[in-house]
């Protein structure tokens, strides 16, 4: 598996198993079709395999489909190009999917990435790209598919958000902003599209280390210019994040299972929390008072954490600067 190799390995035996299960699970008259963005790695790839194993037709879209070696071996999987920043490629992928399978029942807007770094160090162009992929890309793919969903009188749209679409973390301000925007868009759209019998769902994964997400975030962070005044804050934040990493036990398969459930449970449930690690923080965010929640987060990252560190340090020779 390209980049990340987190799911099923590369055995021909496994792919044959997926193909066999797929043939067994649905007859051609009951076969449903899903279109997924960003299936080259991570959740998108494992979700494509999950739907295929359940007998679905899968339009597995990627930016560089010519490099795909696994999904192309499966009988009812169409691997085709779709870059969410390229509207022509969106239209072409939809046309190819409709031509091959005759319809699309479920759209999974999965493609996305996370900018990591201090806001002040992050160029405007990078923030623009973050929104182009995580927000405007989702809007463009959704808008392109809606006429088809309206025509067939049904459809399900599943947007892959994040815990960072419900609570925020420092050094991820651009990513959080994009996922908050995605959540607001999805929730508002769900009211509109109920009138068309189209259901909108949001899947919120927490941290899953086995995808290519961290690798890309690291690359993005490596392109920013550090600012010395933030050094102590960054070191503290990195230490908090390192502590959180030990709680990240979920796999791409867990997330793919939740995506599959969202597609098939027949409900109009809006949000699905996909991994255990974020449930305590989500509960604090959603079930405690604003003051209590913000106080808790500031204690971890903000002003009170800063003053705790300052108090723990020996008195400085100079009393004029707090800079490291």
Q: Any bridge partners for residue 57, and if so which?
A: 33
Of the candidate residues 83, 105, 183, 220, the single one contacting ligand NAP (CB under 6 A):
83
φ, ψ for residue 195 (rounded to 5)?
-65, -20
Q: Is 220 in the site for ligand NAP (CB under 6 A)?
A: no
Q: What is the DSSP letter of 215?
A: H
Q: Any bridge partners for residue 33, and if so which?
A: 57
User: Considering only 48-56, 142-150, 204-212, 262-270, which stretch makes contact with ligand NAP by CB under 6 A?
Assistant: 204-212
Choice between 223 and 322, CB closer to ligand NAP: 223
The SS3 assignment for 288 reads: coil
Are the CB atoms for 274 and 205 separated by under 8 Å? yes
Of the candidate residues 173, 212, 237, 251, the single one contacting ligand NAP (CB under 6 A):
212
CB of 203 to ligand NAP, least distance (A): 8
Of the candidate residues 8, 149, 213, 272, the single one contacting ligand NAP (CB under 6 A):
213
CB of 154 to ligand NAP, least distance (A): 25
Of the candidate residues 8, 51, 101, 113, the single one contacting ligand NAP (CB under 6 A):
113
Choice between 218 and 299, CB closer to ligand NAP: 218
Q: Distance between CA atoms of 46 and 260, rounded to whole angstroms?
A: 10
Beta strands across the sheet bearing 57-62: 77-81, 57-62, 33-36, 106-109, 155-160, 198-204, 271-273
Q: What is the CB-side half-sphere exposure of residue 39 using CA atoms within 13 A?
A: 33
Q: Distance between CA atoms of 192 and 179, rounded to whole angstroms?
A: 20
CB of 45 to ligand NAP, least distance (A): 7
φ, ψ for residue 37 (rounded to 5)?
-95, 150
Binding mask 13-42 for ligand NAP (x = CB under 6 A): ------------------------xx-xxx
Which residue numbers are catalytic? 161, 175, 179
Two tokens at 302? 């903000």
Of the candidate residues 71, 90, 107, 111, the single one contacting ligand NAP (CB under 6 A):
111
Interacting residue ranges for ligand NAP, rule: CB under 6 A? 4, 37-38, 40-44, 63-64, 83-85, 110-114, 133, 137, 160, 162, 205, 207-208, 211-213, 216
């Amino acid at each position: 598996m390209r980049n990340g190799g987190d799911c099923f390995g590369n055995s021909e035996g496994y792919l044959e198993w997926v193909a066999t299960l797929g043939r067994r699970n649905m007859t051609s008259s009951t076969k449903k079709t899903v279109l997924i963005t960003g299936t080259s790695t991570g959740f998108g790839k494992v979700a494509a395999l999950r739907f295929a194993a359940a007998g679905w037709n899968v339009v597995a879209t990627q930016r560089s489909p010519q490099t795909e070696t696994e999904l192309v071996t499966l009988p009812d999987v169409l691997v085709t190009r779709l870059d969410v920043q390229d509207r022509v490629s969106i239209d072409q992928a939809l046309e190819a999917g409709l031509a091959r399978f005759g319809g699309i029942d479920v759209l999974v807007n999965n493609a996305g990435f996370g900018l990591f770094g201090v806001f002040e160090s992050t160029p405007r162009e990078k923030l623009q790209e973050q929104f182009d992929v995580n927000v405007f890309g989702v809007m463009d793919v959704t808008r392109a598919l809606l006429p088809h969903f309206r025509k067939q009188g049904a459809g399900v749209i599943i947007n892959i958000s994040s815990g960072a679409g419900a609570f925020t973390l420092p050094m991820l301000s651009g990513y959080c902003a994009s996922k908050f925007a995605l959540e607001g868009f999805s929730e508002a759209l769900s009211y509109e599209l109920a009138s068309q019998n189209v259901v909108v769902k949001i899947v919120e994964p927490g941290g899953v280390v086995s995808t290519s997400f961290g690798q890309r975030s690291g690359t993005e962070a490596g392109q920013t210019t550090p600012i010395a005044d933030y050094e102590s804050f960054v070191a503290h934040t990195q230490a908090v994040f390192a502590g959180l990493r030990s709680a990240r036990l979920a796999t791409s398969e867990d997330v793919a299972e939740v995506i599959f459930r969202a597609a098939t449970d027949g409900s109009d449930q809006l949000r699905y929390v996909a991994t255990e690690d974020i449930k305590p923080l989500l509960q604090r965010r959603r079930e405690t008072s604003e003051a209590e929640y913000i106080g808790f987060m500031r204690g971890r990252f903000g002003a009170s954490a800063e003053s705790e560190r300052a108090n723990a340090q020996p008195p400085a020779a100079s009393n004029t600067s707090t800079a490291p």
